[in-house]
A and B are shown apart, each in its own frame.
Chain A
Amino acid sequence: MTNRTPASRRHLLIRPLAVALTLLLALAPAFAQESQPLDQLYGAEPEGAQQGGEVVVGIVYEPPALDPVHQQADATTAITVLMYQGLAYTDWDGTIRPMLATSWSASEDGLTWTFDLREGVTFHNGDELTAADVKYSYDYIRSEDCGCAGSVYLNAVESIEVIDDFTVAFHLASRNSAILAGVADKLTAVFPEGYFDNEGAQARLNQTSVGTGPFMLDEFRPNQSIRLVRNPNYWQPGAPYLDAITFVSVPDGNSLLNGLRTGQIDLAQLARPQDVAQLEGVNGVSYQEQTSWVQKSLDLQAGGGATEDLAVRQAISLAVDKQEILQAAVQGYGQVIGLIPAGMQERWGAPLDELPMQGPNPERARQILTDAGYPDGVEVQITTIIGFDWMTPAAETLVSQLAEAGIRATIRRQDLGVWIDNWGARSFVDVTLNDWGTVPDPSLLLDAHFQMEPVGNDFRNWNNEEATELLAQAKQATDYDERYALYVEVQKMMAEDAITIPLFSSSIIAVERDRVNNYVQHPSGWYHGLIRTWVE
């Protein structure tokens, strides 16, 4: 019943997973979703694609384990999407489309979702996919035995029923269109029935994969490389084209660039988008800039400290010059945003000129502070996380912007593990920089963060009953205009209270050598694109 914001990547903070299934659903009164033709799944078939060949991909963040359901880190999902599939997947434009399901429909009351399954799908171990596997997998994910973050997505599910070998029904305790988030790419996958019943099954995932995806795990060497090989029995005709993909762990951004220059690395997402300038004039490489669904933001503590006072938060919001921070942090490779990631602005974003408390307006900030009884300004602490490159220049720029409003800020750097600890305990101090990964569903983006306990997590201690109620209504509403109006209202409230100040959505820069063809970077940062990539 309650919608939780999806888990975070290990190094990024929030990641609502499901794409706006609701987008499509709101438009189709029958709640049905037709599948794409097989040659359109994961993108259109490219012209002239050749079979065979291998690709070396450099990755900066290594997955701790290749387990799609027990590990929520984005670094993990980026790679496991090539081996494991769910009932649905997130398309490049943000729509949720059927994958292992061919279609789905909801009952009139919205409490029963029926999925028709694809026939002729086999797991890497040879077993054939049936409804029993689907029931087992999603029952396992939402069970206590799993200890899985994805269980929260399936909170609304009361039971899962096998109707026949290729039909399965999810019975919900309350209406929840975001249920499809729980069955798409992240934190979810369909396993063979009973897979996790054996001891050591989880650990074995790091040696042998048991998904339905186009690639299988060949070898995982920690701190070195991950090698995937083509699944010879993959159910989608034609795909994939590559024989093998090797992900090499390259933690140093400069080494990554060197590898691209010398051709030892064929493809990489740059650690910092602005590094692309260093590849100018290098032969044999090209790059694509993709606006990601990531948002970089400031989050403010409303439960204590200097920012407990609304006036202080509003002053901070007015003092911020987002364009300047975008320039300082990633040299402009991205887009300034309102309250919603750039990729969602058109569909769900409140018009930027309608949002209150937007800067830069240091004079008004000073006025608000003075009126509130801070004639001499106020002191706040800003926290950045070690390992997030963009945060340092952003924080330093922020300090000088705040100073103009009479706010004296100091910067403190924190280890990620400590930060997560504080965040989970809702006890972070004053202002923290944050890095959200997301997929374009407003419910998954906002609910867990901004609804009060026990419905949501309310990490910032906003304690806003009205917002909680509005978000609940929006989650259950089926008419797009109604949902849009509700989300706009909530965004205005968030802006007025300055509970969070999203700054910008950064671009993903994917660099490739010329021999790599048809790699289209997915806005999530995951490697879906490799399924339709071919090499000469």
Chain B
Amino acid sequence: MTTFLAQRFLSMLLTALIVSVLVVLLVHTVPGNIVQQMLGQLGASSTEARATLEAYFGLDRPIHVQYLDWLGDLLRGSLGESWNQGTPVLELVLRAFWVSAELAVLSLLFALVVGCVFGIVAAILRDTVADLAIQTFNVLGLSLPAFWVGAMMLVVASNVFSWGPPFRYVGPLDNPGLNAQIMFLPMLALGLFNAAAISQFVRDLILGTVRRDFVRTATAKGLSRSVVYAKHVFRNILVPLTSFSGVIFIGILGGVVAIEAVFNLPGIGRLLLWALQTRDYPVVQGGIFLMAIVTLLVNLVVDILYAVFDPRITYA
């Protein structure tokens, strides 16, 4: 197991570094840099000002030198400083990441609970009214984009209940009550969409599994229906469900910009978009590097869970 982990960590690092090279290249090909933004129209006329700023940010050096500089900082445990504000990138990015992570975890948990319940009920009560109702919910949930649902929720809340979530974000450790109010609607908006996905997925998985030989054998052995489901069917859907959950989690983290904008959450999506728009390269590079590491870690956790859920899988 240790060799496995060691190998994985090494390959993760390598992958993340390849991603960082791609990001550097991409970000530098986009026209316009931070200097132009800082100087605006006047910048076009003041060549001295532009030269000073470009030297200050190191933009006058070739791309590979800039990248190696960044790499050097990385090896010393630093992601550099934001060009806009001078704050350490690691601090900025982590702070934003925890906000998005909280949202992703809450939404995923909500989606798993609701989705599994609905999926199981729909599978067990196949072809009944309940099944139909749940499948309708699934289709609706999947067709309505999460950010639109979120925006509608805000409009309804403010118009009908004269209520809105607090505008200034506080963390769950600072003020759990306020944090709950802030996270409630976005969690719902993202959660409903993913609950629909999980519900459909679980329903199909279960219906597929009950047809398998070992289930027929278990039923033929005389086990009660609930035992068959609990001991045999559910345990066999855990592995694909884990995989799916991992994908959803990464999807939420990566695609959460619109929700963050609608609900005013200072998450990683907004930070990266803002950094890109203002051409704050260290933040873009640092942020994406971190996201790459997180994605790879999630994949690793999913793989380890496979081994936990399925005794046939080992990493020797």
Chain A residues in contact with chain B, CB under 8 A?
4-10, 13-15, 56, 58, 62, 64-65, 70-73, 144-152, 187, 200, 202-204, 206, 220-225, 246, 248-252, 254-255, 258-259, 261-262, 264-265, 415-425, 448, 456-457, 459
Do A147 and B36 touch across chains, with their CB atoms under 8 A apart?
no
Q: Which residues of A are found within 8 Å of B31, using beta-carbon distances?
A: 417-418, 421-422
Binding site for A on B (CB under 8 A): 30-33, 35-46, 48-53, 56, 81, 84-87, 92, 96, 151, 154-155, 157-159, 162-164, 166-169, 261-264, 266, 270-271, 274, 277-280
A279 to chain B, nearest CB (A): 11
Q: A147-B56, A223-B266 are in contact. Are A254 and B87 (CB under 8 A)?
A: no
Identify 7 residue pairs between A and B in the complex whose beta-carbon atoms are under 8 Å apart, listed by A's number. A7-B39, A10-B278, A14-B41, A15-B40, A149-B38, A149-B43, A206-B86
The 3 A-B residue pairs whose C-beta atoms are closest, nearest first, are A203-B86, A417-B32, A147-B52
Q: Which residues from chain A contact B162 at a C-beta distance below 8 Å?
A: 261-262
A255-B154, A264-B166 known; A459 and B42 CB under 8 Å?
Answer: no
Contact, CB under 8 Å: A250 / B264: yes
Q: A258-B164, A417-B30 are in contact. Are A145 and B41 (CB under 8 A)?
A: no
Chain B residue nearest to A74 in the complex (CB): B40
CB distance from A301 to the nearest CB of B (A): 15
Q: Tell me if B's interface is mostly helix, strand, loop or mixed.
A: helix
Given contacts A200-B86, A254-B154, A261-B162, contact A223 B270 (CB under 8 A): yes
| Docked-complex contact B164 and A262, CB < 8 angstroms | yes
Whole-angstrom CA separation of A425 from B33 in the bound complex: 13
* A10 cross-chain contacts in B, Cβ below 8 A: 37, 40, 278
A448/B52 in contact, CB under 8 A: no
Given contacts A144-B51, A255-B264, 15 further A-B contacts (CB under 8 A): A7-B43, A13-B41, A56-B167, A58-B167, A73-B40, A150-B42, A251-B270, A252-B261, A416-B32, A417-B30, A420-B32, A421-B32, A425-B44, A448-B42, A459-B44
In the assembled complex, which residues on chain B have CB atoms less than 8 Å from the CB atom of A202?
Answer: 86
The answer to whether A420 and B155 touch across the interface, beta carbons within 8 angstroms, is: no
Distance between Cα atoms of A224 and B96 in the complex (Å):
10
A34 to chain B, nearest CB (A): 31
Which chain A positions have C-beta within 8 A of B51? 144
B44–A73 touching, CB < 8 Å: no
Q: A13-B41, A147-B50, A251-B261 are in contact. Are A416 and B56 (CB under 8 A)?
A: no
Please, which residue of chain A has its CB at the minimum distance from the CB of B280?
A: A64
Chain B residues near A145 (CB, 8 Å)?
A: 52
Number of A-B contacts (CB under 8 A): 190
Q: How far is the CA of A251 from the CA of B262 in the complex (A)?
A: 8
CA distance A225 to B43 in the complex (A): 28
B residues in contact with A8, CB < 8 Å: 40-42
Task: Please tell me if the beta carbons of A152 and B46 are within 8 angstroms of each other in the complex.
Answer: yes
Asked if residues A258 and B154 are in contact (CB atoms below 8 Å), the reply is yes
**Given A65-B85, A248-B264, A252-B261, are A258 and B158 also a contact pair (CB < 8 Å)?**
yes
| Given known A-B contacts A225-B168, A418-B31, A9 and B40 have beta carbons under 8 A apart | yes
In this complex, which of B32, B159, B169 has the most chain A Cβ atoms within 10 angstroms of its Cβ? B32
Contact A261 B56 (CB under 8 A): no
Contact A418 B30 (CB under 8 A): yes
- Residues of A with C-beta under 8 A to B274: 62, 222-223
Q: How far is the CA of A264 from the CA of B264 in the complex (A)?
A: 13
Q: Which of A6, A70, A223, A249 contacts B38 (CB 8 A)?
A: A70
User: Which residues of chain A have C-beta atoms less than 8 A from B264's C-beta?
Assistant: 248-252, 255
Contact partners of A422 in chain B: CB under 8 A: 31
A4 touches B87 (CB 8 A): no
Whether A7 contacts B168 by the Cβ 8 Å rule is no
Q: Which residues of chain A come closer than 8 Å to B32, judged between CB atoms?
A: 415-421
Query: Whole-angstrom distance from the CB of B27 to the nearest CB of chain A?
Result: 11
Q: B46 → chain A, closest Cβ, in Å?
A: 5
CA distance A148 to B92 in the complex (A): 26
A249–B267 Cα distance when bound, in Å, is 13
